[in-house]
């Protein structure tokens, strides 16, 4: 469903963030992208929806090559890719509802969005999504009144209301506490399951990634060093991705049942 072919990104400074990355993501697959800081994880995700312009290579979403699109056509394709951000990237001074509805901007005209007169079915869907993540009662609160975990859930709603085929998730748990991190990861993976969405999740926390995803990609200096099942992440593999370190504690199986009860 998503196919990257020889994707290269060289920044103006000369840093080569991505060196000919090839990657195929089938429909409905949730994969984690791990790797040290500066490995090109964020760049990879942003090259897919062209928030960062790739230097060369191709990105196919379905049959459409995103790298060749004009501005208008790119905008229409962006609607099919929901994005979730590290620091939530909610519009702090707008209400929760406005933030969720902003995911529909690609579908509604300027005046409707300017006057906040979104189609009834968008509003209904926004309430349903907020209810799904347990925030329906917060709809009229300002986004900056929410806690970190709540904000990220609004971020998830904003991405989902786009009705995307693919989720691009950039460090969703980096600023959250361990428990909230798990809840958010679980929520993202559950929602992907429910809706048959594919997702690429950048994540620093290897154990958390192993717990929830079906496939792991290890990136180091812009090159794919590992591609396989979460269970195949051995200390040796982590050493090739991150460098020498004692990995036993990191990949220890975490008992997930204790928390489900809460």
DSSP state of 55: S
Specify the residue, 163 or 227, whose C-beta has the smaller distance to other proteins: 163
* Shortest separation between residue 74's beta carbon and other proteins, angstroms: 8
* Shortest separation between residue 262's beta carbon and other proteins, angstroms: 30
Please report, as ranges, the residues that interact with other proteins according to CB under 8 A.
49, 51, 75-79, 81-83, 85-87, 89-94, 98, 102-107, 110, 113-114, 155, 158, 162, 168
Specify the residue, 175 or 180, whose C-beta has the smaller distance to other proteins: 175
Specify the residue, 106 or 225, whose C-beta has the smaller distance to other proteins: 106
Question: Using CA atoms, how far apart are residues 26 and 62, in angstroms rounded to an integer?
Answer: 10
Question: Using CA atoms, how far apart are residues 85 and 220, in angstroms rounded to an integer?
Answer: 21
* Shortest separation between residue 137's beta carbon and other proteins, angstroms: 23
* Shortest separation between residue 239's beta carbon and other proteins, angstroms: 32
DSSP string, 212-254: H-SEEEEEETTEEEEEE-GGG--HHHHHHHH-S---TTTTPPP
| 176: phi then psi, degrees, rounded to nearest 5 | -115, 155
Q: How many residues does the chain have?
A: 262
């Amino acid at each position: 469903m998503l196919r990257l072919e020889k994707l290269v990104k060289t920044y103006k400074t000369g840093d080569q963030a991505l060196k000919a990355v090839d990657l195929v993501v089938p429909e409905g697959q949730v994969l984690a992208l791990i790797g040290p800081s500066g490995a090109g994880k964020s760049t990879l995700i942003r090259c897919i929806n062209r928030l960062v312009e790739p230097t060369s290579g191709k990105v196919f979403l379905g049959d459409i090559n995103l790298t060749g699109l004009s501005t208008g056509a790119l905008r229409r394709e962006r609607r099919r890719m929901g994005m979730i951000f590290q620091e939530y990237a909610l519009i702090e001074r707008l209400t929760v509802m406005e933030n969720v509805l902003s995911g529909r901007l690609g579908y509604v005209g300027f005046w409707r969005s300017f006057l906040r007169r979104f189609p009834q079915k968008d509003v209904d869907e926004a309430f349903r999504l907020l209810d799904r993540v347990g925030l329906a009662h917060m709809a009229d609160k300002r986004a900056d009144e929410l806690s970190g975990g709540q904000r990220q859930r609004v971020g998830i709603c904003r991405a989902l209301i786009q009705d995307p085929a693919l989720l691009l998730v950039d460090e969703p748990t980096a600023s959250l506490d361990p428990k909230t991190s798990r809840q958010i990861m679980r929520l993202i993976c559950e929602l992907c399951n429910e809706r048959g969405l594919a997702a690429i999740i950048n994540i620093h926390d290897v154990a958390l990634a192993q717990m929830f995803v079906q496939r792991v990609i290890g990136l180091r200096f812009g090159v794919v060093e590992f591609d396989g099942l979460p269970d195949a992440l051995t200390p040796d593999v982590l050493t090739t991705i991150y460098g020498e370190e004692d990995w036993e504690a990191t990949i220890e199986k975490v008992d997930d049942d204790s928390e489900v009860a809460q």
